[in-house]
Structure 1
Amino acid sequence: MIGRIRGMFILGLCSASALAAGTGYQPPFHPDQLKGPPAGRPNEVLVLGSPHLSGMPDTFAPAQLEPLLERLAAWKPEAIAVEAVSGLQCDYMRRNPARYADSVSSYCVDTGPAQAATGLDVPAANAEAERLLAQWPATPSAAQRRRLAAVWLAAGERNSAVVQWLRLPAEQRIAADGMTDALVAFLDKRLQRRDESVLVAATLAARLGLERVWAVDDHTADSPTPKEVEKAAADAITKAWDNPYSKARAAADIPLYANVAQPDGLLAIYRAYNAPESAMQTYRSDFGAALVEPSPQAFGRNYVGYWETRNLRMVANIRDVVGQTPGMRLLAIVGASHKPYYEAYLNLMHDVQLVDAEDVLR
């Protein structure tokens, strides 16, 4: 819970007197009504709201994801975005430890071993990865894949390194071409993590013949909560979350998680989390409740301001990826609470057409 309210004091976005009564001015310009048609293929984005697999019960096994993976593979995404902080953003946050030390500790991988192995710091490794991909052969050798995996690790892009590791035969996952024993052990261990960025995104990318995944999370709105108000803020948000909608969401999860080991049990969770009605259930239980939280310090409004800022920046990262190759089909995998905001913000883009997850998950 503390992680979810991190940074809610950051920008002073929501002072107690800032919100005007009523709806106020309504702009005449509506970009969501000004879509294409583009010349050529449309940009299609499928937002998949996901549970965090780290929280799955002991009855979870990666093989249970197969029905989901089959449906996503049939949709044939050409790029996959994940809820992970990019190496370049982590590099930026490391340079601002007064504000981001906790965020770096929580969300960023240590690139030191890979830098020592490759001689590349994070910016140089990102540039090298792009250079390698620009001239990537149709049938790269095992040595080329090992080299790219090492470069991705130096770039802070561990999930893209996993994609390369998965594309290698098991007997070729060895310490060579920039991969040291320590880096091999890191990737082998990461393959076993209960993490949707690995078990869904990287696995699917390797299966589809993609060379990377895109890290689009954003934690630049994070900031340490002042110690003198930390408990009061946590208490206020916790009280806001104690509402009938939160209880109903928790109750609905009980049978879903109890049946995760059943055939299509995990697929049932994804279907429930991506159902249309889940958007308002999420809002009413969480962000809507926080928005009207009555503390004089407006803790809830600070939290909502942080949440909207983070989602806007995440969506901007996705729009950047899609804009690089018009006509792209992109799958965005993200924690289910982000999904309504992803879709609402992406729908504002002139050249983005959303795809209904319910259709894909049938």
Structure 2
Amino acid sequence: MRRRFILALAALFSLAAPASAQDRVPVANLSSVPFDERTEVMILATSHYAGVEGVTPSHFDTIIRRLKQFAPEIIAVERVPAHEIAMFRTTPHYARTLDTYVGSYLSLMNLGQAASGLDPIEAEVAMSEWVGSPGSLDEASQIERLMTAIAAYEVETALIYYRALGGRERDEWPDDVPKAVRSELSKLDVSTNERVAIAARLAEELGAPRIWNVDSHLEDAAFGNIVPELMSGLETAGGIEAIVGSEPFSTLAKIQDEAVQNGSLEPAYDYVNSPEYGRGDVRSQIDVFNRMPFENKSGLVRQALWDERNFRIAANLRRAMAARPGSRVLLIIGAGHKPWLDQILAATLDMRVVQWTESKSE
């Protein structure tokens, strides 16, 4: 009898054991959605090629061909969304952030808002309902969408409608598209930044109605407070040059130089999206601050703010997915974000992360 009581008591205590003592199951494993039916999302890591000598639009041809096989229905880029810009404009704390990431485009936004009658948030909401390719619309509708996109600071979206309307080859334009807007879009049109060279071009070829802005910089105001101590720590450790010259960045530089000379950036994208590069980037670019003895724990602050930014990017991407449920997703973003976003987005019930390295070159 006493033995039964002890066994029952032991069983009771095992049920009451703290969660840390129990086996944990990844959230994704608890899903009722069959794995092969989950929404596919690809985080395409990229270097930034705007202004890099020798890089032309044709260097991205193979990248476009491989992404067309993936056929994303939502294309997102590393640009600040309208709802964050609206917040930046309410306080001087974000004046530098606004100047850095929006700059002269702010005056274009004002033109877009005047033309569309929508503030940035209203424009962003209106765009979430867009369907149909730019080429399927009449000219008046194309112009309306172009100016709505400008109102929301979605300049790559505006670019695909600018191109649909004739782009730089068009001589005469209606007054509905102000000269200042045309001038900025004409300059953007020839950029080799990945937002144009990949996202805008891919959106055109697939007939996507929009390119989503999903970056975040709400952490910038707090980040500015720790920059002096971070820079001091870097100088003690050999300076930024020491990081740039370390792995995996030195290998990437060699691969990129050779890729530019050979006319295709595909090898660079293969490397920067590899697990090897991701591990090296985390250690050399982010975790490096955790190995420095900061008096005010600036390394830990830096880590927290970096995590905050990536969680917000993931949240902005999920907002796009909520507007277009079940749509295959591509996010093109700086390589340092990929390890975090892959992990964050994999921990959910309704989607699965697919890798660039799973796609095949023709």
Structure 1 SS opposite 2:50: helix
CA offsets 1:183-202 (integer angstroms, 9 cap, x no match): 11111111122321111111
Partner Cα separation in structure 1 for residue 159 and residue 134 of structure 2: 19
Name the structure with the higher helix share.
Answer: 2
Partner Cα separation in structure 2 for residue 73 and residue 118 of structure 1: 32
Match of 1:20 in 2: none
Partner Cα separation in structure 2 for residue 146 and residue 116 of structure 1: 14
The reply on whether 1:321 has 2:281 as its aligned counterpart is: no
Equivalent pairs counted in the alignment come to 335
Partner Cα separation in structure 2 for residue 127 and residue 294 of structure 1: 46
What TM-score, normalized to structure 2? 0.83
Partner Cα separation in structure 2 for residue 122 and residue 173 of structure 1: 30
Is the CA contact (8 Å cut-off) linking 1:147 and 1:179 kept in structure 2? Answer: no
Question: Match of 2:38, as an amino acid?
Answer: P
Is the CA contact (8 Å cut-off) linking 1:259 and 1:265 kept in structure 2? Answer: no
CA offsets 1:69-90 (integer angstroms, 9 cap, x no match): 1111121111111111012211
| RMSD (Å), alpha carbons | 2.8
Partner Cα separation in structure 1 for residue 127 and residue 171 of structure 2: 19
Structure 1 SS opposite 2:221: coil
Q: Structure 1 residues 55, 30: closer, same or farther in 2, change over 3 A?
A: farther
What stretches of structure 2 of length at least 5 have no aligned partner? Answer: 1-19
Deviation at 1:138, TM superposition (A): 8.2
Match of 2:161 in 1: 164
The reply on whether 1:77 has 2:90 as its aligned counterpart is: no
The reply on whether 1:358 has 2:353 as its aligned counterpart is: no
Match of 1:304 in 2: 303
Question: Match of 2:136, as an amino acid?
Answer: T
Partner Cα separation in structure 2 for residue 254 and residue 92 of structure 1: 37
What stretches of structure 1 of length at least 5 have no aligned partner? Answer: 1-23
Q: Structure 1 residues 279, 40: closer, same or farther in 2, change over 3 A?
A: closer
Q: Structure 1 residues 291, 60: closer, same or farther in 2, change over 3 A?
A: same
Partner Cα separation in structure 1 for residue 50 and residue 280 of structure 2: 23
CA offsets 1:19-48 (integer angstroms, 9 cap, x no match): xxxxx8888353132234259942100110
The reply on whether 1:106 has 2:103 as its aligned counterpart is: no
Match of 2:43 in 1: 47
Partner Cα separation in structure 2 for residue 207 and residue 359 of structure 1: 22
Is the CA contact (8 Å cut-off) linking 2:160 and 2:200 kept in structure 1? Answer: yes
Partner Cα separation in structure 2 for residue 277 and residue 160 of structure 1: 33
CA offsets 1:259-279 (integer angstroms, 9 cap, x no match): 233445411110010011111
Match of 2:121 in 1: 123
The reply on whether 1:198 has 2:196 as its aligned counterpart is: yes
Match of 1:282 in 2: 281
Match of 2:30 among 34, 39, 44: 34
Alignment of structure 1 residues 1-362 onto 2, 5 Å: 28=24, 30-38=26-34, 41-54=37-50, 56=52, 58-97=53-92, 99-108=93-102, 109-110=105-106, 111-130=109-128, 133=130, 139-170=136-167, 175-176=173-174, 178-223=176-221, 230-239=227-236, 247-263=246-262, 265-362=264-361
